[in-house]
Amino acid sequence: MEEFKLNFYAIYTFFAVVAVIFSMYVDIKKKHYNVYSVFFAGLLFLIIALLFGLRSTDVGTDTSMVIYQFDYQDRIDFGFQFMYGFLMLVVGGFTNDYHFFLLTLSILYNGLIFSSVLILSRKIDFNIFLVGFSFVSFYFFESLGINIVRQGVSLALFLLAVSLYFRKPQDFKIWLIPFVLAIGFHITTAVVFLIFVLVILLKKIKIIYYYLLYFVILIVSIFGGSILSFGSLLSYFFLVDNQKAEYYINNENGENYAIGFKPQFAAFNTIFLVFFSFINAKIFKYENREYQVLLKYYMVMSTVFFMMFQIPFSDRWGVMSWVVIPFLLAPLFTINKTAKYSIGTLSFLILIFVFFSMYYSDLS
């Protein structure tokens, strides 16, 4: 595990230097140089895909479970998660070596994120490498890549759907397909799909009401309110996987997972909400409808996250809001004639990476 961490930090440090150079070009030279940017972004995701995919069994707490599922796939019913079972079947048809399955998941995860960034860049003119690098700067990126890998691939497909929505919002068939595939990898993405579609359908609701919802639920969470407050209704919330209801209601995880209000995560989501509100007001002048849809999704998904603080592994709900942060930050990596946002934003992201690396290192 230590060797993996050192390799990951070395890769991040090298590409952080590249990111600084690109951010200076964006802010000072007022050029993206996206021909080179695409190359370095592709190289970044390729190297990380290999690092994640070729990891040893002691890297990632769920890695051993993924290996077990691959080795005994014929004995497991994946239910709604048909795509995960299908992928196992395909890879298993070529080899019984679980390393190839881990590598396949890693390539899918990194490749889908890279593709999503490329597609989104056709709608918003930003530096492709800097947006790609912003994903790697968040702790959830590593966790989704080596630990909760099914959810990682699922949320990467969600990002693909979001980027396709930005490009052609009216052509719902194009961005609906990745959503279906995403649910096929991890059933909880159905919640993501439901919220995203509801935000689109309820487009006439002013964004001020989403801010109101966000802060009301945040206050409720501070005073101990959670989804557990709904009692038996929790079973309906987890209808797609009713075993989860008992697991969460009775805290039958068998581990000492800290539950309760998490100020660090509440502050994290709120700080970025301030960033996004600035972008929506100052850069887009409240005129980019697709950006507002994603911002509204972020706020609603954050409220769901806040309501999950009292259950085990609530951060697995938090990542459903965090995963869109790089897309929402993307306009800060665009050429602005009157302001310089890239260098400051990049510095903040590197600071976040260092902070959470130290934070989780102290916990382990």
| DSSP secondary structure, 334-348, as one string | S--SS---HHHHHHH
Closest by CA to 262, choosing from 210, 317, 213, 208, is 317
- Rounded CA separation 312/251 (Å): 7
In the prediction, which pLDDT does 243 show?
Answer: 47
Q: Average per-residue pLDDT in the chain? A: 89
| pLDDT tens digits for range 18-58 | 999 999 999 999 998 999 999 999 999 999 999 999 999 88
Over residues 114-118, mean pLDDT: 97
pLDDT band at residue 254 using 50, 70 and 90 as cut-offs = very low
Over residues 230-243, mean pLDDT: 53
Q: Between residues 60 and 160, which one has the greater pLDDT?
A: 160
In the prediction, which pLDDT does 349 show?
Answer: 97
**pTM higher than the cut 0.85:** yes
Q: Between residues 259 and 303, which one has the greater pLDDT?
A: 303
CB atoms within 10 A of CB 24: 14
Q: Apex CA 88: angle with CA 85 and CA 90, to 5°?
A: 110
| pLDDT tens digits for range 143-187 | 999 998 999 999 999 999 999 999 988 888 899 999 999 999 999
Q: What Rg value do the Cα atoms of the chain yield, rounded?
A: 20
Q: Return the percent helix, strand and coil in the chain, to nearest 5.
A: 75, 0, 25
pLDDT at 242 over 50: no
Tokens of 45: 């995701």
Q: Between residues 168 and 362, which one has the greater pLDDT?
A: 168
Evaluate whether 200 touches 210 at the Cβ level (below 8 Å). Answer: no
What percent of the chain stands above pLDDT 90?
Answer: 68
**Please, what's the b/e burial string for 29-61 (b: 16 or more CB within 10 A of its CB; e: otherwise)?**
eeebbbeebbebbbebbeebbebbbebeeebbe
- Rounded CA separation 316/228 (Å): 17
In the prediction, which pLDDT does 1 show?
Answer: 75
